Structure 1
Amino acid sequence: MNTPPSSPGAERTDGSAVRIGALVPLTRPGWVEAGRHLLAGLELAVREVNDAGGIGGRPLELMVRDTAADPQRAVAAVDELARLGVAALAGEYHSVVARAAAARADALGLPFLCSSAVLDALTEQPTEWVARLAPAQSRGWQVYADFLLGAGHSRIAVATQPSVYWASGARILRDHLAARGGTVLELDMGVLTPAAVCDELAGSRATALLLLVGHPEPAVPIVRSVRRDRRLAEIMIGAPAGQPEFAEWATLLGGDGAAIPFLRYLPERLSPLGARVETALRERLAEAPSFVAFEGYDTVTVLADVWRSQGADRTRTAEAWSRVAVEGTRGRIRFSRVPGIGVRQWDWPPIQVVDRDPAEPDRFRILHTG
């Protein structure tokens, strides 16, 4: 590993706080609800570590920066946090933002434990400075493609917007389905209205429409249009990126938002630790916590475990990724090298395909696991 000179993040023994730079989308166009859940998980874990005595008597301190789904804003935040002496970076939900942050962290020699972003190519080149808790997109979206095939859907339409993330998702689906006799029809939301999407679907013979688009626009209008089009009564709508996970989805769409399968990263049953954390997160959020909140909690759990054994030193933190073996809320966390992925990866978090129950939209049904 290319080791930089001693920095403000080097270990200190004067009782000062161990600082974590938290990258979180808290304002639009970022996915604010995801950011709120991610931050709740980070904050809860920090509080619990501090209640237990901190890191060798030193408290943890979160230094939160709002990325607002803006890669340039994230890079500026990484630079600022590095100057302020954070021992590591944590968080981020949006893949394109996390990728920019990871590249800058790698250049600065600053450890970054990415909580939620899934893009396979989180860095252009292999690095020892970055590790990730979320499953790679190729893993999760292949599981989703297997679910589609198992449910009898082999001709799939995808509503897409320009983005490295959406393009990557469409490619994963296309390649995985094509190898098994399936096809993918792409509908460009840069030129199509929701009504035009319905017309395209009606003549396509597709049996499923996947939303590879932003939330709430244009995902919500597309769902409303498809649900109200009698020609499309048999079309399944899916959202592999997880838009229906959050309460805002149900608020905006009501019953129209049910029965839309999506990916989430939780086990079928939580461990005692996971159940305890779920209760605490529910109290903090005043609603059911999403898997993103658990990812935030697990991020601090990993960092605290590393620092207890290695000290809060940037270089030793990065060197310790391969030795992590800690119990998280969703299973035992270990990092390894996965072919085709340049960061240290937890392989693999639990993966589910779930939807909201039409009879009870606040309840999730597990449809498939991978």
Structure 2
Amino acid sequence: MSTPLSSDGDSVVRIGALVPLSRPGWFEAGQHLLAGLELAVRDVNADGGIGGRSLELIVRDTAADPVKAASAVEELAGLGVAALVGEYHSVVARAVAARADALEVPFLCSSAVLDGLTEQPTEWVARLAPAQSHGWRIYADFLLSQGHTRIAVAKQPSVYWATGTGILRDYLAARGGSVVELDMSALTPAEVCDELVGDHATALLLLVGYPDPAVSIVKAVRSDPRLADILIGAPAGQPEFADWASLLGDDSAAIPFLRYRPERLTPLGAKVEAELRGRLATPPSFVAFEGYDAIAVLAQILGAHGIDRARIADAWPKVAVDGTRGRIQFCRTPGISVWQWTWPAVQVVDRDPADPGRFRVLHTS
């Protein structure tokens, strides 16, 4: 199915943006993602747009709701967008990818990591963020390098958390480690502390929603003298955002998380970082860079291959873009059903106990 841009496509090229901007979505991540998207659109238009046409972003709040997101895809497709971009939450991105594939609308997923983004291989979807299996294995390597082989996970029901637990369990088991699951649908934070003492785990990973119960669990563990030596980790990246530090104060530090950016940004990345800092009034997260890079990729495709949806989808393997975090190219990767950038840089980072506003790089891919 080949769809024209829109009735006024001669002057405007529309991109549909799917972003969590309200609860229960992780709206701080959504704000960073949107800031990156909007800045890139501004830069594209300042540079002449798409063949002289302005690039326009049509934003829809997904609120971490897969049903709402799928409906937004249908609406945006009907409005004649050339492509879709964005989404942070993996379960939501999976619903977006499925609907985009069915409607034959190109979707560049900026920030969701679930390996199985679609049930079957598709030509219509590409992704910038690293697959969960890639990033979480790097996180497991970090744990092992620090001597942690008995790992507890505080987990809520979710495909994303269940998949992450499985990745950790399989990877650690092959290297002499083990994973203990703590069901947060049945345990209070205080009961988690009791379980940790009995299980003799040396690390607790937060595979739970934010801000709660993640914040409540951290406060309970950090205030329990029996658990003074336990490492708290958050592979999904909760400590990246400023709200984490404001909610937890000194307790926000020394909680390692995954961050998808290199230690040194590209020259474009350094420029974008300075501008994003002004827009956000806080250091930009890697999610903001993912947003900027997503528009940079689509702008190159649109400029080189036109606005026809089928041509956009055909162009994924032809992409070669110098983004904020390195050169972006897509390929087919075993076990991944979409076109994948392999790989953006992956770091394990925490907030410095001496200054929780500063990040320390603990491990790199």
| TM-score, normalized by the shorter chain, greater than 0.5 | yes
What CA deviation, in whole Å up to 9, does each residue of 1:64-85 have, x standing for no partner? 0000000000000000000000
**Residues 85-109 of structure 1: per-residue CA shift (max 9 Å, x gap):** 0000000000000000000000000
> 1:15 Cα deviation (Å)?
3.0
- Paired position in structure 2 for 1:333: 328
Residue deviations 1:220-244, cap 9 Å, x none?
Answer: 0000000000000000000000000
Residues in 1 aligned to 2:83 and 2:274: alpha-carbon distance in whole angstroms: 28
User: Who is 1:293 aligned against?
Assistant: 288
Partner Cα separation in structure 1 for residue 5 and residue 124 of structure 2? 14
CA contact (8 A) 2:18 2:62 kept: yes
Aligned to 2:131: 136
Q: How many angstroms does 1:7 deviate by?
A: 1.9
The residue number in structure 1 matching 2:12 is 17
Q: Aligned partners of 2:194, 2:204: CA distance in 1, in Å? A: 13
- Per-residue CA deviation, residues 255-300 of structure 1 (Å, 9 max, x unaligned), is 0010000000010111111100000100111110000000000000
Partner of 2:217: 222
Aligned mates of 2:84, 2:5 — CA distance in 1: 11
3-state SS in 2 of match to 1:41: helix
- 8 Å CA contact 1:29–1:68 kept in 2: the answer is yes
Partner of 1:304: 299
Alignment of 1:163-202 (within 5 A): 163-202=158-197
Structure 1 alignment gaps of length 5 or more: none
State the alpha-carbon separation in 2 of the partners of residues 89 and 344 from structure 1. 15
For the 8 Å contact 1:8–1:83, the answer to whether it is kept is no
Deviation at 1:313, TM superposition (A): 1.4
Say whether residues 1:317 and 2:312 are aligned partners.
yes
Q: Which amino acid aligns with 2:78?
A: R
Q: Is the 8 A contact 1:26 1:35 kept in 2?
A: yes
TM-score, scaled relative to structure 1? 0.98
One-letter amino acid matched to 1:97: V
RMSD: 1.0
Shift of 1:203: 1.0
What is the correspondence of 1:119-158 to structure 2 with a 5 Å cutoff?
119-158=114-153
For 1:7 and 1:18, the matched residues in 2 are separated by 13
Q: CA-to-partner distance for each residue in 1:156-188, whole Å, 9 max, x for gaps?
A: 000000000000000000000000000000000
TM-score (norm 2): 0.99
TM-fit CA distance, 1:14? 5.8
- Equivalent position amino acid for 1:49 in 2: V
Asked if 1:86 is matched to 2:81, the reply is yes
Letter matched to residue 9 of structure 1? L
Report if aligned partners of 1:15, 1:57 keep a CA contact under 8 Å in 2.
no
* Corresponding residue pairs, total: 365
Shift of 1:8: 3.6
Query: Aligned with 2:25: secondary structure?
Result: coil
Name the % identity: 74
Partner of 2:347: 352
Return the letter of the residue paired with 1:317: I
Contact 2:317 2:329 in 1 (8 A): yes
SS at match of 2:64: coil
Report Cα offsets for 1:10-67 as digits up to 9, x if no partner.
8x89632100000000000000100000000000000000011100000000000000
Distance in 2, matches of 1:349 and 1:329, equals 10
Say whether the 8 Å CA contact 2:4–2:308 is kept in structure 1: no
Matched, 1:7 2:14: no
**1 CA distance for matches of 2:294 and 2:75?**
21
